[in-house]
Amino acid sequence: MKVQLNDFSMAYEDTGRGHPILFIHGYPLGRRIFDAQLRGLLGVARVIVPDLRGHGDSSAPASGYSIAQYADDCLALLDSRSVTEPVVLCGLSMGGYVCFDILRRHADRVAGLVLLGSRASADTPEQRAARDADAELVRGEGVAPIVEKMLPRLLTPAGQNKPKVVELVRRTMEMTSVAGMVGDLGAMRDRPDSRPDLPRLGKPTIVIHGREDPLIPLSEAEATARAVPGGDLKVIDAAGHLAGVEQPTAVNQAITAFYKKVWAH
Ligand code: MLT
């Protein structure tokens, strides 16, 4: 499905019944990366999954690529779907950075937070420089070099040997536009440090992280979970950065248990 929001057309899924969960994908991905969560949570919740601007089947406007704009786009989608109740946010990696922004500015829209393969810290100066170098590469050569570079960072060696897994991840990345990829890189480079927010997040929170994540070390996830009062940590064995793709059953179980706890009272 698609909806015209401000300056672009946003593609999304909205399926299932119950209190909503909003999934926000990471870089340089799209909504398809949550296919297994969509299937696994169908009988549990109303699942809403957008393609951010410049990604997947959404259109790619020339501007508006920032974490705050991604957050506004997601909330505009909820408005367009008449979702007024607070939702469980599930942010994958960069999607987690978007969740922190929503929590800072619109905490009333949030019932709970699932951080999937994400972190609260900002980029280091070295990481910022690497974002700029990657953006130059994408501007010059298109998205293909980043797709090749990211694959081994997203999956475990075992995952990289599973053709269906590789195909899904590769295809999802290839659907990202140049504007979307360059936009993500600038958005991530400029994101603030969300660690000061953690002690006063005030929402039920679970941090779900692949034990073998080469992109964001498990220690970051452990620190995040520790800093949120009452924060839970679920470590997923035999999973890299995309635990929901490599170990969908374990991830879906963790999300389902968390969701039920949020709405238990
Ligand atoms: C992501 O998976 O969204 C990004 O790779 C995270 C990052 O680079 O900080």
CATH of the domain at 249: 3.40.50.1820
Q: Would the CA dihedral through 154, 158, 162, 164 be positive or negative?
A: negative
- The count of domains in the chain is 1
The number of the ligand 1 atom at minimal distance from the alpha carbon of 131 is 8
Q: Write down the pTM of the prediction.
A: 0.98
Query: Using an 8 Å Cβ cutoff, are 217 and 192 in contact?
Result: no
| % the chain with pLDDT above 70 | 100
Nearest-angstrom CA–CA distance, 177 and 233: 34
Nearest-angstrom CA–CA distance, 225 and 201: 11
Determine whether 187 is exposed, middle or buried from the number of CB atoms within 10 Å of its CB (0-12, 13-18, 19+): buried
Q: CA distances (Å), 19 to each of 143, 184, 232, in order?
A: 36, 29, 21
Nearest-angstrom CA–CA distance, 87 and 22: 7
Q: Is the pLDDT of residue 265 over 80?
A: no
Nearest-angstrom CA–CA distance, 126 and 56: 29
Q: Report how far ligand 1's centroid is from the alpha carbon of 188 (Å).
A: 8
Ligand 1 and 93: CB distance under 6 A: yes
Q: What is the pLDDT of residue 64?
A: 97
Q: Is the pLDDT of residue 6 over 90?
A: no
The number of the ligand 1 atom at minimal distance from the alpha carbon of 123 is 9
The whole domain housing 99 covers 2-262
Strand order through the sheet with 232-236 = 2-5, 8-15, 46-50, 20-24, 87-92, 110-116, 205-210, 232-236
Query: Using an 8 Å Cβ cutoff, are 191 and 45 in contact?
Result: no
Q: Is the pLDDT of residue 214 over 90?
A: yes
The model's pLDDT over 125-134, given as tens digits with 9 standing for 90+, comes to 999 999 999 9
The model's pLDDT over 99-117, given as tens digits with 9 standing for 90+, comes to 999 999 999 999 999 999 9
Q: Report how far ligand 1's centroid is from the alpha carbon of 82 (Å).
A: 30
Q: Report how far ligand 1's centroid is from the alpha carbon of 153 (Å).
A: 10
The model's pLDDT over 48-78, given as tens digits with 9 standing for 90+, comes to 999 999 999 999 999 999 999 999 999 999 9
Which of 7, 46, 62 shows the shortest CA–CA distance to 259?
A: 46
The model's pLDDT over 150-207, given as tens digits with 9 standing for 90+, comes to 999 999 999 999 999 999 999 999 999 999 999 999 999 999 999 999 999 999 999 9
Q: What is the pLDDT of residue 107?
A: 98
Cβ–Cβ contacts within 10 Å for residue 101, how many?
Answer: 23
Confidence of residue 46 (pLDDT cuts 50, 70, 90): very high
The model's pLDDT over 72-91, given as tens digits with 9 standing for 90+, comes to 999 999 999 999 999 999 99
Cβ–Cβ contacts within 10 Å for residue 33, how many?
Answer: 25
Query: Using an 8 Å Cβ cutoff, are 25 and 95 in contact?
Result: yes
